[in-house]
Amino acid sequence: FCAANSKGHALSQLTTTIPKGSFIGLVGKPGSGKSTLFKLLIGLQECPEKSIYFGSQDLATVSLSKLRNSIAYVPTQSYLLSTTIADNIKFGKDLSMHETVELAAQKADLYRDLGD
């Protein structure tokens, strides 16, 4: 795969199988194609036909909602809202129960900072 503004291929001849339900991480040098691969997988970048398969289905024909409900992407740079830690934990989720926010904060080792 070669991005429109790129001088060379970010991805070339990559073949892998990721078992359903797996959690994986990609590591590599800057510019090696990690972010490009995930952007293709979640539809942030258009995928050329017949280049990536989601199960037996051509990724170019899979709905964005199915992709985004099946794949989580954590970008290299993270973003926080200029608000409370609790609001950042709840962002995009219906976490109205205070206990759920507290549990997430404990798991992220941020519980002591919840009052800030």
User: What pLDDT does residue 97 have?
Assistant: 60
3-state secondary structure the chain: CCCCCCCCCCCCCCCCCCCCCCCCCCCCCCCCCHHHHHHHHCCCCCCCCCCCEECCEEHHHCCHHHHHHHCCCCCCCCCCCCCCHHHHHHCCCCCCCHHHHHHHHHHCCCHHHCCC
98 plus 113 within the same structural domain? yes
User: What pLDDT does residue 4 have?
Assistant: 61
68 plus 103 within the same structural domain? no
pLDDT tens per residue across span 7-58: 666 667 777 888 888 888 888 887 778 888 888 888 888 877 777 887 788 8
Radius of gyration of the chain (CA): 18
In this model, does residue 72 exceed pLDDT 80? no
In this model, does residue 107 exceed pLDDT 60? yes
Question: Domain residues for 89?
Answer: 79-116
User: What pLDDT does residue 108 have?
Assistant: 77
95 plus 66 within the same structural domain? no
6 plus 47 within the same structural domain? yes
69 plus 90 within the same structural domain? no
User: What pLDDT does residue 114 have?
Assistant: 72
50 plus 102 within the same structural domain? no
- The residue to which tokens 């942030």 are assigned: 44
**How many distinct structural domains can be found in the chain?**
2
In this model, does residue 6 exceed pLDDT 80? no
Of 29, 114, 23, 30, nearest to 74 by C-alpha is 23
5 plus 56 within the same structural domain? yes
62 plus 115 within the same structural domain? no
